[in-house]
Amino acid sequence: MALVFAAVCGMCSLGVTHAEQLAARSSASTKNDLNYLMYTPDDYASSGSAYPLVVWLHGGDQGGSDIEKVKSSGIPKLVEDGKTFPFLVFSPQNPSEELLYPIEKVEAALDEVMSKYRVDRTRVYLVGFSRGGFGAWAMAEQFPEKFAAVVPIAGGGNRHYLSRTNEKAAFWVFHGTNDEVIPLSDSVVLYERLVGLKRNARLSVLEGVDHSGVEWAALNDPELWDWLLKQRLDVGPE
């Protein structure tokens, strides 16, 4: 047995001696082909002013390649129904019907939008529902310098990375007690972590409200929009 072990170890040693591990850099590029809706206020064309911008991340049912689906819920649905807002709304479509938002693509598209439109960069806000709520938490962690306020509605995420969020950003978390799709505890854990980090955070737990109901309860709350538009972030010189 000792001879066999020695022989095997000798072969292992021989293999390691001749193995190589080379450093390389990928030159592949990923095409950013996100579809999105862009809402501009009624007076945008006649005004030279910069406007606040809300990023809307939809839920799972609106993913894919048909941009019309995005109009069926959330802020785009409110716009379709005739509601007007005093801010720009950028609504990117998740290209997947099953996976989470590709947040790096969303961020790149957001940068493109911000270069094309007159955006008040101190007042960029992020609102997401369900799968979009997961995206909102992730973007707040990955791109903390971007958003003055983040509103995750019935979402979830990784609380361990919340320490990367901007200390100056504000958070308002919404969740319903009767949510059978995303557990209320997912939002509570993240909110409590924000509180532990001494972030500006608030949590609205809506009694008797289910998963789909909390989206509309949050978006139809006038206090949300009043609160949102008061949030500002010092982004420094462009």
Place 32 in a pLDDT band, splitting at 50, 70 and 90: confident
- Give the pLDDT confidence score for residue 19 in this predicted structure: 83
pLDDT digits (tens, 9 = 90+) for 90-105: 999 999 999 999 999 9
Q: What secondary structure does DSSP assign to 9-44, as a single string?
A: HHHHHHHHHH-----------------EEEE--TTT
Residue for token pair 């319903």: 176
Tell me the pTM: 0.89
Backbone angles phi, psi at 118, to 5 degrees: -80, 95
Provide the strand spans (E) within the chain.
Answer: 36-39, 51-57, 88-92, 119-129, 149-153, 170-176, 200-206
List the strands of the sheet with 170-176, edge to edge: 36-39, 88-92, 51-57, 119-129, 149-153, 170-176, 200-206
Q: Which whole number is the average pLDDT over 80-88?
A: 97
Residue 200: beta bridge partners? 170
Q: In Å, what is the CA distance from 237 to each residue of 122, 168, 196?
A: 11, 17, 31
